[in-house]
Chains A and B, each alone.
Chain A
């Protein structure tokens, strides 16, 4: 049973929290994930490190470098997922990363291993709908949601193709750019979310450049979820193995903001 729908049906916008697996070390990741959950994250995105993270900004690039330098292997990431699932039976877990590490042993191998580890969804940055055959069918066969991305460049003509075969939630990348650098104007987010909502019943989670509780609340007033990544990764970078105690209050501040956001949200 996929855990994603329930996470978006809590009567308030979901907090989707991203960290890079294995940063600073594979052993350090479980406690960071636990802090995300304790702080109020509703969905965990576990980043799979890659040598060539071409859609990521400096913060997540550096996290990938730290993780790979610490020796993180695909097997470690799956083990982190499995451990997370054992400790948190109901919190949805999404793997996010690039095609090559996911496809290296074949899409079926990856989908089966991820499903076995308790993963609910996969975001593959460089598999657009046009190349869905490469990964999508395998994920669906194992009950894993292929989560699609929509961006400011995804126009109305193209949107149906993005939505065809999408499940879990729709990730709206609010800026045309790389992770963590700019933030979008709230007005453009409002317009985009209402356009997306008119086209799909899937929950819409908005990310890229979200850092402050105020931003999260403003986005949460219109969207079904708010994705925070680089800001968390920067805390991990600054605190290393002591990151959990630093991550916790930050996540709490975002979660509180989203609870408040519910009041203004049209149900």
Chain B
């Protein structure tokens, strides 16, 4: 395939990223999706919208997030690297954002859009609860009522985040249909939306769903990559050699990658959750183990059987436990611009502990997957190479899961 002139011009006006993306929604939602699209075009062209977004990111979220040279992790990885090998590892510290993850960047952008559109009620889905907490926070900040759909199984395993959402004034509705996890929460969010089209705005948490969601979530999250690009150049005098980010739906990864897509010297690696291993069915790696299909409004790679029934994803990280992936990643994989790999639950747990001990940072289980991939890659890259990892969330929410996985009672 011929490389396009730019990798940064997707999607087309119909929301297609190559063969992926699109607007696969019920007719009731279609006029809303079209409204949202035109309002987003207007907002994008409005300097006042951008100014308010930037102001909130600075003063409410705490941006720019730091760029951090992880020297002790780098040294630890060099110990087992061949002579002259062992790349420098750098972190984009999005775990330091208000509410503890990158999710808030997108929520700020979407709630400003909701207000522009005159919507008076917010709904969202959440898996691990990070997007739910971020949505609940911005709803409290702007005084809008908020309903969060969350799989009943996730409600059980993410109790601290459920309580955070409630403290922030959100109503958390447990979803018992299907596998009672993120995918089912998204179905329920779509059902609510279709029944409340006139006053409700659906804040989708990842770079998936019907157009224009994958595009607007990417744009709001691209603050990560824009900052990181400028920070790397300022601190090191050049661009990084490799970007690494964990992928569930893929919003933190596309946010980091997108501003670098037209820099040919920058390689990129997205890391899916391999759960108990790609050999079995208990993983959440849609690119490695899935096939193209249509779910939740877009065409993308999905974990599914030969009849097109959607499989349940599995990952120790509730935030990666989704059977699909954002359509732009599906496109970037197929054209070869971004490489995708995976890390198992066990590898992520090892990486989680390694980072705690070498850098004094407790990462979320999601970026622990990215760090696991870095431990493999860094050893085989020269010492003067630089890897930039998106540390997209902090691990406070995960300590109970990790304790249980390590057999520790707390």
- Residue ranges of A at the interface with B (Cβ–Cβ < 8 Å): 50-57, 61, 65, 68, 73-74, 98-105, 125-128, 130-131, 134, 148-155, 158, 162, 173, 176-178, 181-182
A-B contact pairs, 13 of them (CB 8 A): A50-B308, A51-B310, A54-B190, A98-B294, A99-B294, A100-B310, A103-B308, A104-B308, A125-B26, A134-B299, A150-B27, A153-B30, A176-B194
With a CB–CB cut-off of 8 A, which chain A residues contact B29? 153
B66 at the interface (CB under 8 A from A): no
A128's partner among B26, B186, B187 (CB-CB below 8 A) is B26
With a CB–CB cut-off of 8 A, which chain B residues contact A173? 27-28
B27's partner among A52, A57, A162, A177 (CB-CB below 8 A) is A162
Quick check: B28 and A153 within 8 Å, CB to CB? yes
With a CB–CB cut-off of 8 A, which chain A residues contact B277? none
In the complex, how many angstroms separate the beta carbon of B374 from the nearest chain A beta carbon? Answer: 34
With a CB–CB cut-off of 8 A, which chain A residues contact B294? 98-100, 103, 126-127, 134
In the complex, how many angstroms separate the beta carbon of B151 from the nearest chain A beta carbon? Answer: 13
List 15 extra interface pairs beyond A54-B186, A100-B308, A181-B195, CB under 8 A: A52-B178, A52-B295, A52-B296, A54-B190, A56-B191, A74-B307, A100-B302, A101-B307, A104-B293, A104-B304, A104-B306, A127-B24, A128-B24, A134-B294, A155-B31
- In the assembly, what is the distance between CA of A56 and CA of B188, in Å? 10
In the complex, how many angstroms separate the beta carbon of B75 from the nearest chain A beta carbon? Answer: 47
Quick check: A54 and B293 within 8 Å, CB to CB? no
- In the assembly, what is the distance between CA of A52 and CA of B179, in Å? 10
Quick check: A51 and B191 within 8 Å, CB to CB? no
With a CB–CB cut-off of 8 A, which chain A residues contact B190? 54-55
B297 at the interface (CB under 8 A from A): yes
Contact A153 B197, CB 8 Å, known A50-B309, A101-B308, A131-B23: yes
In the complex, how many angstroms separate the beta carbon of A58 from the nearest chain B beta carbon? Answer: 8
With a CB–CB cut-off of 8 A, which chain B residues contact A162? 27
A/B pair count, beta carbons within 8 Å: 121
Which residue on B lies nearest to A150, using beta carbons? B27
In the complex, how many angstroms separate the beta carbon of A185 from the nearest chain B beta carbon? Answer: 16
Closest 5 A/B residue pairs (Cβ) = A104-B308, A177-B195, A101-B308, A99-B294, A100-B308
Quick check: B307 and A104 within 8 Å, CB to CB? yes
Quick check: B28 and A151 within 8 Å, CB to CB? yes
B32 at the interface (CB under 8 A from A): yes
Residue of A54, A73, A99, A100 ringed by the most chain B CB atoms within 10 A = A54
Quick check: A100 and B295 within 8 Å, CB to CB? yes
- Residue ranges of B at the interface with A (Cβ–Cβ < 8 Å): 14, 22-32, 34, 177-178, 183-184, 186-187, 190-191, 194-195, 197-198, 291, 293-297, 299, 302, 304, 306-310
- In the assembly, what is the distance between CA of A256 and CA of B197, in Å? 36
Quick check: B24 and A55 within 8 Å, CB to CB? no
- In the assembly, what is the distance between CA of A230 and CA of B164, in Å? 38
With a CB–CB cut-off of 8 A, which chain B residues contact A57? 191
Quick check: B307 and A73 within 8 Å, CB to CB? yes
With a CB–CB cut-off of 8 A, which chain B residues contact A127? 24, 294
- In the assembly, what is the distance between CA of A53 and CA of B186, in Å? 11
In the complex, how many angstroms separate the beta carbon of A105 from the nearest chain B beta carbon? Answer: 8
A55's partner among B26, B32, B178, B295 (CB-CB below 8 A) is B26
- In the assembly, what is the distance between CA of A73 and CA of B29, in Å? 29
B297's partner among A61, A126, A154, A178 (CB-CB below 8 A) is A126
- In the assembly, what is the distance between CA of A148 and CA of B23, in Å? 16
In the complex, how many angstroms separate the beta carbon of B313 from the nearest chain A beta carbon? Answer: 12
